[in-house]
Structure 1
């Protein structure tokens, strides 16, 4: 475990002694020697992420702190929304122009690591503190034993409640952990009480994460260790059909959501609830302007099931083509490990995955609320799912797009199931 100052001394010593760092090659896992890091060399790194304005301001604060410690390194940061983010990465990968360092997702680990597009972080290990992570969290960025990324934090799926909107509706807050049918009934009570001025929530069957929770509660997963789908057409059909009641005037109409994009119905104060990852709390507070938001456990039809897990999907990776692997590693380490990152981000990138980042996090207010939530659902936390299949990110987006099309009435459930499995067959081969 290193403090920020200790890391600075370590890096300075490495530079002065001319310690060699390992860098890029034409194939993954076969590094070749590179020149040692030169602290006097002017370096510019391109860094990108997905998120909202709140996350962007936090990253800018972190960039400022890093550049103050490393005046020879300039970080050029930019961001976009989640779907556009991955479309842009695909284009860059095809043209060989991926960013030096980028906010990554474990959903794309196979897709970018197997073709050799990510740097093996062990080749720059003297610039990154791996020991600050426990084995389980560190392994979320590994593929076949090679470390390609590191998590910024971890989250668990949750239901967010806008306290003021629920109070104005005159209904009791959702208590969490009920059956899905009872949750739909609660959403209906909000919508009916407000006359549709505020809806109880959104159609939860649009999100593949809800489907994943349903499967995991039954001891199954979205995909297998062998890279195949872990569910049948009938299971998907039953799941999408279960959202019919919510789509019939209970949940916010999909057309309204289309008009709000990229803001969510919850962020726009048009829904009283939303299902998402626990680390979204800070962003939702910023988007909605709500005075307070409560986190409760998502619904489940299997009270004893282990449907939730420590989701360390938000990670950091370095492109294999970076011309500055050492400087890139220093920035990556600053994002995932520094006490400054803990202070600036709190739990908004997930509950800190590394000990050193956690040491800089003051668990009060929003951050304490997220920590309390994670503790409250500890008995529902099970093992992490298998490493996502190649193309999982595309499948996740397809699932969401088809769910929205069902909500718009543009496609039937049967046709959506057929389209999903057709695309999955192409992607998974």
Structure 2
């Protein structure tokens, strides 16, 4: 998996460049693609040779239906992919169709760089296989700029081997205090060999979960913070008992890098996105054939605190000369049974019901599918698309969590630093 943090500074630093590259608006659609029209499209995605081979197979299947659309593909690792897009954005020369990341959707769309997809929805781009909450993921300022290829949700992974060693059951659900108590029981039972979990207050997503349960979000649609200093102070203070011995010591976590404490069997649980499971299993080794996956702690009963997030989206450049053909390609890559059969879960659990039905799901993917079905009552609307610079703030939140765990910073100091950083990000 490629790190998104490496580009956080780039996103902020180049924001002004992209702003200059904005286009006046999206071209009017002709309605449908004329299959007799011969066109050429560029398709860009991030990934590796394995994903490239899958895209080549998908394009071959696409050309069986649309032989007059020639598709040229290119791919890079995640950081290099966005560096290249930044350069192309400045010259209004983005590829016709792009695999797109949620964190950049607002930045590119608000600067006129992405095509308005609304005129194609229900026509060229089929919407029946895509639930409304999935379609809404790609909406910025009431306009659709991306179609999710796949989804994931926040969940709690657990290590069944470590739980058995500790004589502990799966986390049965409950409050954040209940989760902390469950972690403590495992830590105490391990005799210092491993820990029940990590300090969950080091992840901004867990803070977001609590804010959503209270009826808010990290940021409003117009980019204002959805919390004040007192609320962030309370959240970080919530993790003090975990930092005092319940959770894995930060020095132990650092020594495991570049892997994390969960996929090195240092901790028995990890709160994260549910599509991380395959990577965890791969890192834990052959002795692991399964993981536990249950819902995160509850802040308020009945709250719609969870949501489906796109693993990735497909978007079309506003500068494309062939919007109908590009929309036809996007529809195929998202909705077609052929796409589902070819990609499987390489891009995450397919968001389209037709693609999902055709995908051959391995046991872990079936577990993720069952998990997302199990949390249906907690799924609410997706939050506003991340603000420009969100990646920088996410990383700053994590870094401050590290400092808190090392004991080199007080909660008040961490809160002050985060609000200073947030002020810079919101006013750049």
TM-score, normalising length: structure 2 = 0.79
Aligned-partner SS, 1:77: strand
Equivalent residue for 1:404?
Answer: 402
Name the CA distance, whole Å, in 2 between partners of 1:93 and 1:287. 37
**Any idea what SS the aligned residue of 2:308 has?**
coil
- One of 364, 368, 371 as aligned partner of 1:373: 371
Offset at 1:351?
A: 4.0
Q: Report the CA distance between 1:398 and its aligned residue.
A: 2.5
Residues 341-372 of structure 1: per-residue CA shift (max 9 Å, x gap): 42355456454321221221345622321222
Distance 2:119 2:175 in 1: 48
Alpha-carbon distance between aligned partners in 2 of 1:381 and 1:86, rounded to the nearest angstrom: 30
Q: Which of the residues 242, 247, 250 maps onto 1:246?
A: 242
Report deviation, 1:328: 5.2
Q: Any stretches of 5+ residues in structure 2 without a counterpart?
A: 1-20
Which sits farther off after the overlay, 24-33 or 145-154?
24-33
For residues 134-181 of structure 1, give each alpha carbon's deviation from its aligned partner in whole angstroms, at most 9, with x where no partner exists. 3332122122333210112333211001212222x2231332422212
Q: Which moved more, 1:370-379 or 1:247-256?
A: 247-256
Q: Conserved in 1, the CA contact under 8 Å of 2:163 and 2:170?
A: no
SS of the aligned residue for 1:152 comes to strand
Give a deviation string over 1:19-68, Cα, whole Å, max 9, x none.
Answer: xxxxx9932335599x978887776533225xxxxxx4662342131243
CA distance change for structure 1 residues 25 and 232 in 2, over 3 Å: closer, same or farther? closer
Tell me if the contact between 1:150 and 1:316 (Cα under 8 Å) persists in the aligned partners: yes
Instruction: State whether structure 2 residue 131 is matched by structure 1 residue 138.
Output: no
Counterpart secondary structure, 1:27: coil
- Tell me whether 1:213 sits opposite 2:205 in the alignment: no
Q: 1:114 to 1:249 in 2, by over 3 A?
A: same
1:247-396 aligned within 5 A: 247-289=243-285, 290-312=288-310, 314-321=312-319, 329=327, 331-346=329-344, 349-362=347-360, 365-396=363-394
Structure 1 residues 189 and 105, CA gap change in structure 2 (3 angstroms): same
Partner Cα distance (1:268, 1:38) in 2: 55
* Match of residue 75 from structure 1: 73
Q: 2:150 aligns with which of 148, 153, 173?
A: 153
Shift of the 32–175 alpha-carbon distance from structure 1 to 2, 3 Å rule, reads: closer
1:292 to partner: Cα distance: 0.7
2-side partners of 1:397 and 1:328: how far apart? Answer: 34
SS of equivalent to 2:280: helix
Question: Which of these residues, 224, 229, 238, is aligned with residue 228 of structure 1?
Answer: 224
How far apart are the structure 2 equivalents of 1:404 and 1:375?
34
Query: Counterpart of 1:132 in 2: which secondary structure?
Result: coil
Aligned length in residues: 396
Question: 1:1-80 counterparts in 2 under 5 A?
Answer: 26-30=23-27, 45-48=43-46, 56=48, 59-69=51-61, 70=63, 72-80=70-78
Alignment partner for residue 413 of structure 2, among 404, 412, 415? 415
TM-score, length basis structure 1:
0.79
Q: 1:178 aligns with which of 166, 174, 178?
A: 174
Deviation larger for 401-410 or 108-117: 401-410
The alignment yields a C-alpha RMSD, in angstroms, of 3.4
CA deviations over 1:217-257 (Å, ceiling 9, x no partner): 22222122332111110110111121122222332333444
Change (3 A) 1:272 1:228: same
SS in 2 for 1:29: coil
Q: Deviations over 1:297-317 (max 9, x none)?
A: 111242333222233463222
